[in-house]
Amino acid sequence: MKKSFFLLTLTAAVFTLSGCRTVRIEGPEIKVPAAKPRLQQAKQSLKDKKNAATAIPPVLGGLVSSDSWVIYKDKQQEEFKGNVSYDNGIYSFRADYALSERAYNRFSAKGNVHVKQAEPGAPVYEAFADTARYNYQTKKGTLSAAKNKTLRLIYKEGKQLPVTAYAKKASFDLQEGLFVLEGNVRVERPAPEGKQILRAQKATYRQFQNHLTVEGGAEVSDPLRTLQADTIVYDGNKNYSYAYGSRPLLSGQSEQGTFAIIADKVQADNEGDTVLLDGKVQGWLVSPQINDAAVNEKF
C-alpha cells in the first residue's frame, strides 16, 4: 500500500517548472568559465535538474513550449495554450492549457494533463488528470478528473510491476507529508498471491507516519481473500492492520478450505501471518478434510 501513495509527490517538482539551465535571456555578455572534466560536468547538470523545484525563473516562457504564450504583467501571469509541454530529462509535463500566477505562487493546468518524474536510479512516478494545481510556496496541490472520467497515478520501481491508483480527485501537502485520494478510489498492486486490489471512497496516507486509512465501503482483495469493512487502517511503523465498522467480513480460501468470518473488528500483522478477531465472531469453514473424515459417517 505504502508505495502507491508516493505517486502524488512528483507533481510538486514538475509544476514548478524551474531549475533548467537552458533559458535564453538578452543581457550583458558573461565570461564563460573554463571547461570542467566531463564527469564533473555531468554531475552538475544532474544536480541542476534535481533542484528544478527550488527556484522560479523570472518567466517560464523560456522553459515551457506551447502554441501560444501571453504575459500579463499587471496580473503577474503567464498563459500557455495548445500543446503545452516541458521536459528537462528528469521532470516532464504536458497539458492543453497552463497558467502561471506568480502573485499567488500558483501554477495550474488543464486538459490531458500528464506529469512524470524519471530520475536515474530512482522509481518512476506518473500522473494523468484533467486539471491540476500546485502552490509552490505552501507545497499544496490537487489533481482532478473531469465528469465521468478518472485520474490515474502510476508508481514503478526498477523491473517490478507498477502500482496504479485511480480516483476522482487527489490532493497533497508536501510539508505535512499528507496525501488524499477521493471518489471511487481503486489501487492495484502486485503481490505474491497475485494482483491485490484496494477499493474505497477515500484513502488518506500520512507519509511521515507510514499510516494509511481507507474508508467508505473499504475492500482489500487478492485471488485468495477479501476483507470488507467500513474502514481499514494500515500502520506500517507498528506493522499491523485492522478493519472495523459495518461488521468486517473476511472471506476466501486457505489450506483448510473455503471460509467466511464476520466480527466487530479484524486485526492482523501486515504479512497476514496472524489474524485476530474480536467482538461477536461468527463464521463458517468448508473443509474437504473435515467433509471426508470418517467421523461424518456417524451423522
The pLDDT tens digits for 143-202 are 999 999 999 999 998 888 899 999 999 999 989 989 999 999 999 988 877 888 999 999
Q: What is the mean pLDDT of residues 207-236?
A: 90
List of E strands, the chain: 68-72, 77-87, 91-101, 106-118, 124-135, 140-144, 151-156, 163-167, 169-173, 178-189, 196-206, 211-221, 225-235, 240-244, 249-253, 258-262, 265-269, 275-278, 282-286
CA dihedral 50, 53, 57, 59 (to 10 degrees): 120
Tell whether the model's pLDDT for residue 106 goes beyond 80.
yes
pTM assigned to the model: 0.74
How does residue 46 score in pLDDT terms, banded at 50, 70 and 90? low
pLDDT band of 99, cuts 50, 70, 90:
very high
Structural domains in the chain, CATH included, are 3-22+44-190 (2.60.450.10)
